[in-house]
Amino acid sequence: MDQSRKIRVLVAKPGLDGHDRGAKVIARALRDAGMEVIYTGLRQTPEMIAAAALQEDVDAVGVSILSGAHNTLCPRIVELLRERGMDDCLVIVGGIIPQEDIPRLKEQGVSAVFLPGTSTEEIVKFLRENVGQRA
Amino acid sequence: MPETKELNSPADASVERWERETLEPVIKKRPERRQRFETVSLDEVNRLYTPADVEAVDFERDTSFPGEFPYTRGIHPTGYRGKLWTMRQFAGFGTPEETNARFKYLLEHGQTGLSVAYDLPTLMGYDADSPLSEGEVGKCGVAVSSLADMEVLFDGIPLEEVTVSQTINAPASVLLAMYLVVAEKQGADFRKISGTLQNDILKEYIAQKEWIYPIRPAMKLVVDTFEFCTRHVPKYNPISVSGYHIREAGATALQELAFTLRDGVEYVQWGVDAGLDVDEFVPRISFFFNAHNDFFEEIAKYRAARRIWSRVMRERFNAKSERTLQLRFHTQTAGVSLTVQQPLNNIVRVAIQALAGVLGGTQSLHTDAYDEALALPTDRAALIALRTQQIIAEETGVANTVDPLGGSYFIEALTKKMEDGALDYFEKIDALGGMVEAIEKGFPQREIQESAYQYQKAVERGDQTIVGVNKYSMEEEQGAVPILVINEEVRDRQVERLERAKSQRDSGAVSNALEKLKRAAAAGDNTMPATIEAVRAYATLGEICDALRDVYGLYEEPAF
């Protein structure tokens, strides 16, 4: 990856849930770490998220879900990104995700799942180490 | 005239002496653990509080007696010696049948009131069969799309006897209507029904963000419920002005206090502007606060809340009735403080937070279950949460005396600081034109976002400790705690009942009722009678909200 280009991340809130504290804290922390961050706002469908990811040409999509709808929404987002040819775009997920669901989400193409208590530094580090590594 | 502390008062002089003679030699030998000690709200705490810190607090004027103005020490002269707080566990998941069974389980084990959690489609005014509901039906609460669901939810629960709190906001008037129609079918008298509707739309725009309509028509719906309940359901609390979600979104204790009470002022102002009598409707306004980790800060917050409210009601609204001046509140322990790591530690956190709520004089309490950072609680986790309250109530002795911390230099000084800080926020919000305008300008939203970020930074620096997360962490066995799994078939079952209800109803009556509702909304009439009529005809939640969406439009959040 071209080192001069800033990492671009789309922070997305899919589903009906409005709890955006985490999404906004992450967005600001990534920005403070020198990344370009686009926040989608609330209640984005997987289609809207994939379209925004393509339009903004992001390296990663960070999805925040606290409502329990992750098993429906995450695989759909990954699938739509791949359909749009964004094979290298990472999908990372944060929120209230039961441990039992993590292996399946990873099989479905989610790169990492960050549970409550994760430091923003850990997420920054993960993105720095993994963006551009998939190809 | 504001009190100014005299320099070198006798109290100050004695503190100076202590510092010089006793403190300094010790600090020289052994420095303190940190430079600055602060609350979970990152507010500095002094080493010691003495009479010098409470010189501006006058006992008769500011602290006084429980049951007397300004109610700092509580609204009941007997505290919990007369009646304990109501143990009201928030519950709801899956289908109405499942939640009805959980309600009965909690009542059998000594819970004294019910509290309904609805799922996200219900909170947003969508039916279970809406495409937007996919993946969300029954997940965060119970799914209710029509009266048919509500009938099952309260089956075998006498609504004239059990008080029920409903956490519902944007479509609150519709759920209130459903509740009343179920009660009516049980043969209950509206005048005897008590309970609480959250119905606090302002904090949705500020913090929780489950809105439907633009702010002003949404406020009109709230006022409609005030007016309707004052006339027809006089023992019902049509609103629970909530700081809980404001705090969960990242606010400090002070911001929670200030924004919540200022929201309360806004509702009162809208009610007064609609021609309601303050002493008739305000006594039924209730409040809802968070109980976070910082024990004394929380207790001071509750005490300050009562004092501020009574003064504001008297000074700003010329309230006369005692009931108008008395702030009553529900407390819930801080969901945001629960950790995924070492989840059993949460039992301890919840116990201490709950104790703060009790020492602060709460009227009712929800204790979170230890597994709630993972999923909705299991039966077992919910039972321990309830037992925690019973232990506090019946084993610790804290309910034996009224406001046991009253008179503590620290608590009284902190209560005063909370009051002053909240009034500063009131001034800022008034200068912006009121709370609706402040929200439109993004003021409380930005304040909260900033606090949330600063807290996260403090945790990452290690200035704020979270046991098991940034200190004392360890490798843990995965899946050690069993969690509640919501069956994916819930949606199918809910859609089935919805279709059945639709096929059995008189569709002409439904469309007439919905037209009538639209006309009432467009004309600015009270929407409650038409909403009740639509509910009786089995119009669905989604249909009723769509009718209002047609008239009012949708809220779009500006970028802040």
Model confidence pLDDT, tens digit, residues B135-191: 899 988 999 999 999 999 999 999 999 989 999 999 999 999 999 999 999 999 999
> Which residues in chain B are closer than 8 Å to A117, comparing Cβ atoms?
339-341, 466, 469-470
Test mutation, B93, B124, B139, chain A, max A CBs within 10 A: B139
CA nearest to A10, candidates A44, B406, A100: A44
Chain B nearest-CA residue for A18: B209
Enumerate the β-bridge partners of residue A39.
A11
Nearest CA to CA, how far is A87 from chain B (Å)?
A: 25
Test mutation, B169, B448, B450, B453, chain A, max A CBs within 10 A: B453
Tens digits of per-residue pLDDT, B27-86? 999 999 999 999 999 999 999 999 999 999 999 999 999 999 999 999 999 999 999 999
Tens digits of per-residue pLDDT, B439-463? 999 999 999 999 999 999 999 999 9
Chain A nearest-CA residue for B376: A68
Nearest to A100 among B126, B479, B486 (CB): B479
- Rounded to whole angstroms, the Cα distance separating B288 from B245 reads 9
| Angle between helix A21-32 and A120-130 (nearest 10) | 60
- Average pLDDT for B532-559: 96
Residue B212: predicted pLDDT? 97
Chain A nearest-CA residue for B125: A16
Chain B nearest-CA residue for A46: B132
A117 touches chain B (CB under 8 A): yes
Enumerate the β-bridge partners of residue B117.
B167
Nearest to B208 among A18, A96, A117 (CB): A18
- Average pLDDT for B357-369: 97
A38 touches chain B (CB under 8 A): no
Strands of the sheet with B86-91, listed across from one edge: B236-237, B195-197, B164-167, B113-117, B86-91, B364-366, B329-333, B285-291, B239-242
Chain A nearest-CA residue for B555: A42
B70 preceded by cis ω (within 30°)? yes
What tokens were used for B361?
């004089």
What tokens were used for B416?
């005063």
B171 touches chain A (CB under 8 A): no
Q: Count CB pairs under 8 A between chains A and B.
A: 93
Residue A4: predicted pLDDT? 62
Contact B209 A69 (CB under 8 A): no
* Cβ atoms of A77 and A63 closer than 8 Å: yes
pLDDT at B117 over 70: yes
- For domain B59-461, give the CATH superfamily: Methylmalonyl-CoA mutase (3.20.20.240)
Contact A99 B123 (CB under 8 A): no
Nearest to B373 among A25, A71, A96 (CB): A96
Nearest CA to CA, how far is B9 from chain A (Å)?
A: 46
Mean pLDDT of chain B: 95
- Rounded to whole angstroms, the Cα distance separating B200 from B242 reads 7
Contact B135 A25 (CB under 8 A): no
Residue B6: predicted pLDDT? 55
What tokens were used for B456?
């996260």
Contact B339 A117 (CB under 8 A): yes
Tens digits of per-residue pLDDT, A86-124? 999 999 999 989 888 999 999 999 999 999 989 999 999
User: Which helix or strand (DSSP H or E) is residue B298 part of?
Assistant: helix B295-317
Chain B nearest-CA residue for A115: B340
Nearest CA to CA, how far is B427 from chain A (Å)?
A: 26
The amino acid that residue A126 corresponds to is: F
The amino acid that residue B338 corresponds to is: L
Nearest to B557 among A15, A25, A42 (CB): A42
Strands of the sheet with A8-12, listed across from one edge: A36-39, A8-12, A60-65, A90-95, A112-114
Contact A68 B375 (CB under 8 A): yes
> Which residues in chain A are closer than 8 Å to B211, comparing Cβ atoms?
18
* Cβ atoms of B71 and B311 closer than 8 Å: no
What tokens were used for B214?
């633009």
> Which residues in chain B are closer than 8 Å to A25, comparing Cβ atoms?
250, 452-453, 456
Residues of chain B with pLDDT > 70: what percent?
Answer: 98
Contact A15 B135 (CB under 8 A): yes
* Cβ atoms of B123 and B169 closer than 8 Å: yes
Q: B349: Cβ–Cβ under 8 A, 6 or more apart, which residues?
A: B293, B333, B337, B338
| Angle between helix B172-185 and B528-536 (nearest 10) | 60
Report ipTM for this prediction.
Answer: 0.90
- Rounded to whole angstroms, the Cα distance separating A38 from A27 reads 8
- Average pLDDT for B405-422: 98
Q: Concatenated DSSP letters for B345-359?
A: HHHHHHHHHHHHHHH
- Rounded to whole angstroms, the Cα distance separating B74 from B253 reads 19
**The CATH fold of domain A8-130:** Rossmann fold (3.40.50)
A16 touches chain B (CB under 8 A): yes
- To the nearest 10°, report the CA torsion of B240, B243, B244, B248: 150
> Which residues in chain A are closer than 8 Å to B136, comparing Cβ atoms?
15-17, 67-69
First to last CA, chain B: 38
Give B 512-531 residues with CB within 8 A of chain A. Answer: none
Nearest CA to CA, how far is A62 from chain B (Å)?
A: 18
Contact B483 A28 (CB under 8 A): no
- Average pLDDT for A57-86: 94
- Rounded to whole angstroms, the Cα distance separating B152 from B174 reads 17
Residue B1: predicted pLDDT? 44
Cα A70–A72–A73 angle (5° rounding)?
65
SS (H, E, C) B446-498: HHHHHHHHHHHHHHHHCCCCCECCCECCCCCCCCCCCCCCCCCCHHHHHHHHH
* Cβ atoms of B331 and B364 closer than 8 Å: yes
Domain residue spans in chain B? 59-461
Residue A135: predicted pLDDT? 41
Tens digits of per-residue pLDDT, A29-60? 999 999 999 999 999 999 999 999 999 999 99
A100 touches chain B (CB under 8 A): yes
Contact A119 B250 (CB under 8 A): no
A17 touches chain B (CB under 8 A): yes
- Whole-prediction pTM value? 0.94
The amino acid that residue A40 corresponds to is: T
| Continuous H helices in chain A | 21-32, 46-56, 70-83, 102-107, 120-130
Residue B482: predicted pLDDT? 84
pLDDT at B478 over 90: no
Q: What sign has the CA pseudo-torsion B246, B248, B250, B254? A: positive
* Cβ atoms of B260 and B203 closer than 8 Å: yes
Contact B140 A17 (CB under 8 A): yes
Chain A nearest-CA residue for B448: A21
Q: B131: Cβ–Cβ under 8 A, 6 or more apart, which residues?
A: none
Contact A16 B123 (CB under 8 A): yes
